[in-house]
Chain A
């Protein structure tokens, strides 16, 4: 059986300094061929595993996130959705935690493989940035209003953002929306964009994301897939999460290569029906 350690300090202290890196060796066997190259430079690859066996729908994650960022009403960075199937009395009710998938992406901008939101951003690529690993190795990458960091996080730089909203339309998951209490950095007639940052401000200090910290049943497991000793790497191996992307990630047909994986022994994800017409409704957390 799987044991999910709750000791986030042990997991996170591997990360030091202003930027992130993993001290662990890359485990090439766990990675897709296209990712192997990235692994050689020993950046972390942050992934979250949602264990559907454990989520009780308590919404501590949803509210922890609201508080961490003072997320305005109407917007959510993480939500729980439910899937109900079957006829009484053989009804099945499953809770599905969701947040930005921090997708690997399959489209190219220059040398970078990026997800649809980054590809759609007219303010990407912009400034030149440097990511420093734990060993002090420097990795160059490009910033933008929406950009991808070498550790896989998809982040927003509001100073560069025009609030055009193209990233909102591009995201197949509804994980982005306008922040109605904040203006975009470059165009004060538009609103800023709100979405999950994987609590990068906590990660950079060696602290787990707010939603993970508060998850009592341990349904959210976060860590570095490149560290074979991490819980996420062990779970990925145990449940073949990478090999079975079509069943362990959301909306595989969108071909975004999510970095959120689901332990889903009952194959509930297949029954999840998206509200594609109204992404805002899709990404609101409503308790039944």
Chain B
């Protein structure tokens, strides 16, 4: 089902935390609300779920405006960071709870529970208690409970934050698989860019109650709307250099990147260089010195202090032999760098 937020506004007391937010999620699409804590992403999610009052604007499920509809009557499924399983009920009772409060017959509940348990692959666990399950299994139960009533929208509130690294990878693809198989419209709230990029069709990046950019993960990575988006995505993160664009693109430290091209005459600005676009032979060379090197197994991460000032990060295949303290004259792929005005707007 298509979900639309129109001029959605939320206040806590006198402070307006979200002011006129617009968002459209297509039917069957999975979208991420990404941002640092306090950016309003969870507030938005709770408003969609009906747990928070809406102070302005409309929330449309299909054609129906649900802004004034109670959480009980909205038909959304929600999965929480701590899973929120009912500890005194068995797995089957947990999953069947939404159907039970709707007054469905036991045989029907039993049938639906079994079918959804099959989908999330927990058929074996139906008689257990939540306390007897691993984190990943609990997550699957929570997902099954959210999906069993065939909700209009599936909401996921930091669902992977409590899992260890290995399980997180596994559950990432599991949730995506289930979402694709059921074709449900889903919203994922997360502060983890990897989660957002790997699981979702589109990402809405939020900052202080606003959506800064909304686009596909690749598009957002390759074409950030502003400095904030550029800095938020990418790990290791992008490096910024103060520069001045006249005829030449000259770094604040004095070194030059050659002709300024389309940036000519922009004056003072900031350049964003992703680690993969800086390295031996990538473009115009800059003199610098390796100040830090981390081995990540398959690749090595370097931090290089440029002569005259500025710091860049590079990521190179392992085995380059470059050590901390070495002088390097690696190049920057100028066609891939981003330029931002002093206020952070993309140039």
Real binding pair: no
Chain B interface residues (CB < 8 Å from chain A): none
A contact set with B: CB distance below 8 Å: none
